[in-house]
Structure 1
Amino acid sequence: MPMFHRRRPSMPIPAPGPIAPPPSRRSTEELAAAEAHLSDFARSRVGVEAYIEPRSAVTDTTVVFIAASGEWTRRRVRSPQQAHALARALGIPAYEADVVGYPQRMRDWTRKRAEEDKRRLDGV
């Protein structure tokens, strides 16, 4: 018998557990505040788009609103459907972030802010 084909003693296979993370304990007020923040962001900036991020093992569903300038904000939402509904209500396009990725302007804005923060901390 080849070396790597040794029989192992049979072990019981554990019963499958839940695949999805447990439901969130976020309050209705927190969700309403997040929706209000996103609405204010979209109304006060030009060219805002929504990028919906799927639920993962460590985070709930989130949505990132990105303005034409690259400025962005992220908040948790109830579900992808609620994020799409919010984008429709605000009249902005919505994309699945895991499908299309993020626009370069977001990365540029983030890099520029990090450089400004570093200069400010260095006292330059």
Structure 2
Amino acid sequence: MPLFRRRRSATPVPAPGPTPPPPSRRSTEELAAAEAHLSDFARSRPGVEAFIEPRTAVTDTTVVFVAASGEWTRRRVRSPQQAHALARALGVPAYDAGVVGYPQRMREWTRRRAEEDKRRLDGG
């Protein structure tokens, strides 16, 4: 009799497979409001581009709209396909943020806003 023998389970263990994505915490109304906000942003500012961010363990798929001035807004969307469809419908070029990164004008606008906020808080 072998000293170290494995016992076989009576019930088979299912083979590991892809886990389904967790159900979205966002309601249809919230997603519609996000889409309306993005549409308003794109229509009211020149030179808007879309940067699509993939779903992570922490956040759903998001899209960042960046105007020519560097002003930007981020909203959650249903999927990358929906973000591309929205960008196409608005005539906005769409890019994968993980591949191309973000434009420098976005970082500069954020930096300027932080400086303005700091001056305002310092009383100047």
SS at match of 1:95: strand
Structure 1 unmatched runs, 5+: 1-9
Deviations 1:69-108 (A, max 9, x none): 0000000000000000000000010000000000000000
- Please name the residue that 1:122 is paired with: 122
Deviations 1:25-51 (A, max 9, x none): 210000000000000000000000000
C-alpha distance in 2 between matches for 1:100 and 1:61: 16
1:22, CA displacement in angstroms? 1.1
- Please name the residue that 1:56 is paired with: 56
Structure 2 unmatched runs, 5+: 1-5, 7-14
- Please name the residue that 1:32 is paired with: 32
Kindly indicate whether residue 54 of structure 2 is the aligned counterpart of residue 91 of structure 1: no
TM-score by length of 1: 0.84
Q: Which structure has the bigger radius of gyration?
A: 2
Aligned length: 111
- Please name the residue that 1:42 is paired with: 42
C-alpha distance in 2 between matches for 1:113 and 1:121: 12
Quick one: which amino acid aligns to residue 44 of structure 2? S
Quick one: which amino acid aligns to residue 53 of structure 1? E
1:17, CA displacement in angstroms? 7.9
- Structure 1: 4+ residue segments shifted above 6 A: none
Aligned CA distance change for structure 1 residues 19 and 108 (closer, same or farther; 3 Å): farther
